Structure 1
Amino acid sequence: MEEIEEGIFFKDIGVSFYRIFMGFFISTLFALPIGIMMGTSRAWQSIWEPVVGLVRYMPAVAFIPLSILWFGTTDTQKFFILFLGVFFQEVIMVADNCKTVNRSLVEVGMTIGLKKFEIIKDIVFRAAFPGIMDTFRTTWGWAWTYLVVAELVAASEGLGFRIMQAQRYLATDRIILGILVIGLLGLITDMLFKLLYHRLFPWKESAKVKE
């Protein structure tokens, strides 16, 4: 293919990966602390749950016209769509991870005189971290979907843009190649998340084997 020979295709891969990484990073940067607080504080949950519950049911794709008006076709627009698609779901999942922490562990922390922040940091977060890593793995996959949708509509480069461009010229081979590359990148990153999980939490695998 001409795009591969000229290096354009690999450039598109780099552009798309950069966008998804930055969008996912920004979403996680806000979702992690808010989710932890929602899972450990009833007051915090009462404030955020109605907002999160409302917005997370709004399709991120519907915000694409507004995002173009606000940010044009810049990378910021892609980050915004990724944020809407990932952040609210991630907050709920992180909060649920924290809520599953054994209550007796928290009570032990309170008994030995740990402060609220210390209990959250040293007990709740550490106990919930394996589940939170699984949440990151899941939401990373969702992020790819929202990124490609954003690139299909408002982009001048990237894998989504190339797929749309190929559709206009009825270039089926380029469309299939783009889809396969996205699937392959998703599979590779998913395997990296899985490897990281095994390295960070080897006892989890040991427990599964015993069961």
Structure 2
Amino acid sequence: MSGLVPHLPQSSAKAPARGALDGADKRSPSWARGLGDCFRPRAELTAASRWTLSLLGVGLFFGAWLIATEGGLIQPFFLPSPIAVLSRLVAMITQEGFLVDIWASTFRVMSGFFLAAALAIPVGVLVGNFAAFRALIEPLLSTARYLPASAFVPLMIIWLGINEEQKISVIFIGTFFPLALLIADISASVSKDMLNSAYTLGASSRQLFFRVLIPACIPAIVDALRVTVGIAWTYVIVAELVGADRGMGIAILQAQRFLLTDQVIAGIVCVGILGVLTDFAFRFAHRKLFPYMY
């Protein structure tokens, strides 16, 4: 009778059932599962985990800053404490008319950015989808993106003087070239299967461009605008270093002349805060305009 009993592989007898593994994972504490997800490539984190980690990172940064300054490791002349910087920023806003500087810089950034977007979007779409435009324009765009916008400041002063147009043009130059190439890459990456399907269904080249290609690019273009507006904020200080009477850049420069380190850092922090708020605005608009992507 023993010969009639089927022989089971030894590995089958020792291998735990899949359900048992799942049950063991479910019995693990939630914090342990969340910690494991942090080290799993491309694992999705819960909203609570993301907020916790974000607050932890910010808290560690400001905690180290506070310990280094309040503990006497760094002299206040070189790096004031975050409390001193915050107090200085509040005083600048409430007592010294810094809101006028903030508005002046915001106007310049948004003007240069939207002018660059108005030109970069059509140029990028044409370069990404038409070989003739790609051969004609892409070499110039690829070369110009390596030129620093600050190098154009003397030229813009010669051409436009030291008025608002000069400052807006610097932000335009720093934003246009990377945005155009980014949109060209977005439009070129639209699935060919989608385009071929439209042709199969009888779409003309005009219908394909306006009804298939453009709608497919718009979500990624809005996301590219969110990324590029951050670049625009980085050029506002350079744009305002020459001939500006108001703006965050000139406020930072004047503080540097009088060795007011807390005011310099306060101005830099303000630029960062405005950049983050702009990023949040674009993220919010993206979620509202394209909810099917979330």
Q: Scaled by the length of structure 1, what TM-score is found?
A: 0.92
Counterpart in the other structure of 2:122:
33
Q: Distance in 2 between matches of 1:119 and 1:74?
A: 44
Question: Is the deviation greater in 187-196 or in 118-127?
Answer: 118-127
Q: Distance in 1 between matches of 2:201 and 2:107?
A: 45
What pairs with 1:96-135 in structure 2 (closer than 5 Å)? 96-135=185-224
What pairs with 1:1-211 in structure 2 (closer than 5 Å)? 3-6=92-95, 8-205=97-294
Q: CA deviation at 1:3?
A: 4.5
Letter in 2 for 1:191: F
Conserved? CA contact 2:168–2:239, under 8 Å = no
Query: What secondary structure is seen at the aligned counterpart in 2 of 1:152?
Result: coil
Q: Distance in 1 between matches of 2:258 and 2:206?
A: 58
Conserved? CA contact 1:40–1:120, under 8 Å = no
Q: Distance in 2 between matches of 1:117 and 1:155?
A: 47
Select the structure that is richer in helix: 1
Tell me how large the CA RMSD over aligned residues is: 1.5
Conserved? CA contact 2:162–2:242, under 8 Å = no
Letter in 2 for 1:41: F
Q: CA deviation at 1:55?
A: 1.1
The number of equivalent residue pairs is 205
Q: Distance in 2 between matches of 1:117 and 1:39?
A: 16
Conserved? CA contact 1:31–1:91, under 8 Å = yes
Query: What secondary structure is seen at the aligned counterpart in 2 of 1:153?
Result: coil
Q: Distance in 2 between matches of 1:126 and 1:5?
A: 46
Conserved? CA contact 1:38–1:45, under 8 Å = yes
Q: Distance in 1 between matches of 2:131 and 2:242?
A: 40
Q: Distance in 1 between matches of 2:174 and 2:206?
A: 30
Q: CA deviation at 1:133?
A: 1.3
Q: CA deviation at 1:17?
A: 0.6
- Measured against aligned partners, the alpha-carbon deviations of 1:34-92 in whole angstroms (never above 9, x if no partner) come to 10011110011111111111211111111111111111211111121112111111111
Conserved? CA contact 2:124–2:182, under 8 Å = yes
Q: CA deviation at 1:196?
A: 1.1
Letter in 2 for 1:28: A
Letter in 1 for 2:165: T
Q: Scaled by the length of structure 2, what TM-score is found?
A: 0.67
Runs of 4+ in 1 over 4 A off after TM superposition: none
Which is bigger in relative contact order (C-alpha 8 A, separation at least 6)? 1
Q: Distance in 1 between matches of 2:221 and 2:248?
A: 29
- Measured against aligned partners, the alpha-carbon deviations of 1:90-110 in whole angstroms (never above 9, x if no partner) come to 111001111111111111222
Conserved? CA contact 1:152–1:163, under 8 Å = no
Letter in 2 for 1:58: L
Q: CA deviation at 1:115?
A: 2.8
